[in-house]
Amino acid sequence: MAGVAGDTRSLGDVKPRIPEDSNDKSKIWKLTEINEPSQCRSLRLPENVRVNKISRLIYTNSGSAILALASNAIHLLWKWTRSDRNSTGKATANVLPQLWQPSSGILMTNDVADTSSEEAVPCFALSKNDSYVMSASGGKISLFNMMTFKTMTTFMPPPPAATFLAFHPQDNNIIAIGMDDSTIQIYNVRVDEVKSKLKGHSKRITGLAFSHLLNVLVSSGADAQLCVWSSDGWEKQRTRVLQLPNGRPLSSQSDTRVQFHQDQAHFLVVHETQIAIYETTKLECVKQWTPRESGAPISHATFSCDSQMIYASFLDATVCVFTVANLRLRCRISPSAYLPASVSNASVQPLVIAAHPQEANQFALGLSDGGVHVFEPLESEGKWGVPPPIENGSASSVPTTPSVGASGSDQAPR
């Protein structure tokens, strides 16, 4: 995937000056390429439930489990436990977790509407204390108890169907529900009531993210539009259409995802044609990276828990690690590093990527064959490559260090 290295500079970048020590060859930066299984730690999680592709993936906020939602509406939960080999009990690529199921044998399975599973848009959101998950796969929204897997309640039968779910950061009873009819419903679970209905998109909602610092909700849709809403009165503050590179047409299937940076003032925008960072109050793009036209489309991307890196997956099964400060590629993981030689990367694609909530160098990948892989750099390396140098004048206002009081575990990956 030669195209992934195609760096487009952010708006207003100036040309870098030649560093004074350009004669010192030892300081020349080089992209880290991982092509062999021996060059990183990767672990395919055990499966004994028949699932097809992994549609959604998240680490629990505690960092000790991974929850996946497959396209056939079944949830899978892998738990790591404390042991001699894993003293923290957190998720790791060194130790196999258990695919967990309560003794009752219940599976957490979503209500499925009459539409085909291919048309349904799976979505879920996890409560801050990891005790319940809200989930939908084209039918009613289900609220599951994560300990027992029992369905506590179901609500909002389609149409319209839910396509994205997000908990309000200050109140677990309030959820923002993106719908396939382009509306966003602000719903109070406790009183079973829609408090507000937000209209601003023209196609289904594909992403929602709250900033507790700015008191806003950012939404994205299949119309490639971004909207900022006040979470006090729910009025629309700003809207912007994503600029597609080189006049590429907008695919009707293309999702736009959003996720807040740890500073809660900038957010990540992910589209098959680009990764971008926006400043929220003015809704301006401060950095953008696009694959070359010959490159594979981006399938998903997420911030690392400290917001220093972005993990991005591509439809040719490549995974790339970017440095947030200048949106430059620092490490590229080829399919040959984690897929068996017998599997062609044309037949297996990564669809979702999730970052560990406390370990900045760990992420997980959900694949189109139902597999989930956990990745970490070699212990001898400790990190994914070396950050590329920040060119003179190209650093944006996105902070390169966590802001005071920010905590990586507060931000669940989307």
Domains plus CATH for the chain? 2-15+25-410 (2.130.10.10)
375 and 39 Cβ atoms separated by less than 8 Å = no
Q: Which of 286, 324, 329 is nearest to 304 (CA)?
A: 324
Vertex 164: Cα angle to 162 and 169 (nearest 5): 120
Return the structure tokens found at 397. Answer: 């206002």
The sign of the torsion formed by the CA atoms of 296, 258, 138, 58 equals positive
Among 318, 320, 216, 195, residue whose Cα is nearest residue 258: 216
225/203 Cα distance (integer angstroms): 9
| Token reading at 84 | 């001699």
Q: Which of 74, 89, 165, 163 is nearest to 127 (CA)?
A: 165
pLDDT of amino acid 249:
67
Are 229 and 179 in contact by the 8 Å Cβ rule? The answer is: no
Answer for the pair 184, 194: CB distance below 8 angstroms, yes or no: no
183 phi and psi angles, rounded to 5 deg: -90, 165
The count of C-alpha atoms lying within 13 angstroms of the C-alpha of 108, restricted to the half-sphere facing its C-beta, is 32
How many residues are listed for the chain in this entry?
414
For residue 240, which of 216, 219, 254 has the smallest C-alpha distance?
Answer: 219
- Residue 268 contacts residue 322 (beta carbons within 8 Å): no
Beta bridge partners of 198: 184
pLDDT in tens, the chain (414 residues): 333 434 443 333 333 333 444 344 446 889 999 999 999 999 999 987 778 899 999 999 999 999 999 999 999 999 999 999 999 999 999 999 999 988 888 999 999 977 666 678 999 999 999 999 999 999 999 999 999 999 999 999 999 999 999 999 999 899 999 999 999 999 999 999 999 999 999 999 999 999 999 999 999 999 999 999 999 999 999 999 998 877 666 665 679 999 999 999 999 999 999 999 999 999 999 999 999 888 899 999 999 999 999 999 999 999 999 999 999 999 999 999 999 988 766 789 999 999 999 999 999 999 999 999 999 999 999 999 999 988 754 444 565 543 333 333 333 333
Please give the backbone phi and psi of residue 331, each rounded to the nearest 5 degrees, phi first. -155, 140
pLDDT at residue 293 in the model: 82
pLDDT confidence of residue 42: 97
Cis peptide before 159 (omega within 30 of 0): yes
